[in-house]
């Protein structure tokens, strides 16, 4: 398989797995809008979507998506060894590796991403509330942090671009 084809497959698979786990680009763009609307009075949803698309195009982001979702899927199937299986099933608060993976995404567009990520992770608006609902029976230990990190990175990208335009 050629390198280009492999790269395309990684991006397509990352997007497919997000969608299969119930996350649409619009859901992430809604989070970007939530984070940025008070700083950009003329913010358009198309700008939020464009920034999400640009973040999703980054290979390191795609790798984080694939890794995190795969761990969530293995947890759903009960295929991890203890104590990791139980830690991921319950999204144990002291586990923290899910946030570390999210930081690899947040880091792509600078330190403002950490602030955006911390805020959205605490507030859990929109799709994040749904993903964090433990009663669904689906493990989203990594996915909720990944989605929040993509939104935070896209918000950071938007903020940097707006600052440069001024």
Upstream peptide bond of 83 is cis (omega within 30 degrees of 0): yes
Query: What is the pLDDT, as a whole number, of residue 110?
Result: 84
- Cα distance between residue 117 and residue 35, in whole Å: 9
- Cα distance between residue 31 and residue 53, in whole Å: 13
Q: Average pLDDT, stretch 79-101? A: 97
Q: Average pLDDT, stretch 105-124? A: 93
Query: What is the pLDDT, as a whole number, of residue 137?
Result: 92
Domain boundary assignment for the chain: 3-165
Query: What is the pLDDT, as a whole number, of residue 166?
Result: 52
Asked whether residue 2 carries a pLDDT value surpassing 70, the answer given is no
Q: Average pLDDT, stretch 139-160? A: 96
Asked whether residue 88 carries a pLDDT value surpassing 80, the answer given is yes
The answer to whether residues 54 and 109 touch, using CB atoms and an 8 Å cutoff, is no
First to last CA, the chain: 45
- The larger pLDDT score, comparing residue 163 to residue 53, is at 53
Mean pLDDT of the chain: 93
Taking only the tens place, the pLDDT of each residue in 35-87 is: 999 999 899 999 999 999 999 999 999 999 999 999 999 999 999 999 999 99
112-123 helix and 97-106 helix, angle to the nearest 10 degrees = 130
Query: What is the pLDDT, as a whole number, of residue 131?
Result: 97
CATH 1.10.3760.10 fits 3-165, yes or no: yes
Which of 33-37, 146-150, 159-163 shows the lowest per-residue confidence on average (mean pLDDT)?
159-163
Angle at 14 between CA 10 and CA 19, to 5 degrees: 150
Asked whether residue 161 carries a pLDDT value surpassing 80, the answer given is no
The answer to whether residues 69 and 18 touch, using CB atoms and an 8 Å cutoff, is yes
pTM: 0.94
Q: Average pLDDT, stretch 153-158? A: 96
Radius of gyration of the chain (CA): 16
């Amino acid at each position: 398989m050629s390198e280009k084809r492999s790269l395309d497959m990684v991006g397509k698979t990352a997007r497919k797995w997000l969608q299969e786990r119930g996350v649409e680009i619009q859901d992430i763009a809604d989070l970007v809008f939530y984070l940025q609307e008070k700083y950009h009075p003329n913010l358009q949803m198309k700008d939020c979507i464009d920034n999400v698309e640009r973040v999703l195009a980054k290979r390191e982001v795609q790798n984080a998506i694939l890794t995190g979702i795969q761990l969530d899927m293995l947890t759903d199937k009960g295929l991890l060894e203890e104590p990791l299986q139980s830690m991921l099933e319950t999204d144990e608060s002291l586990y923290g590796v899910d946030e570390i993976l999210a930081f690899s995404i947040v880091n792509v567009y600078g330190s403002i991403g950490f602030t955006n990520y911390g805020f959205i992770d605490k507030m859990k608006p929109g799709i994040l509330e749904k993903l964090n609902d433990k009663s669904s029976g689906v493990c989203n230990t990594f996915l909720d942090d990944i989605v929040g990190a993509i939104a935070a990175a896209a918000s950071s990208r938007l903020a940097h671009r707006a600052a440069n335009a001024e």
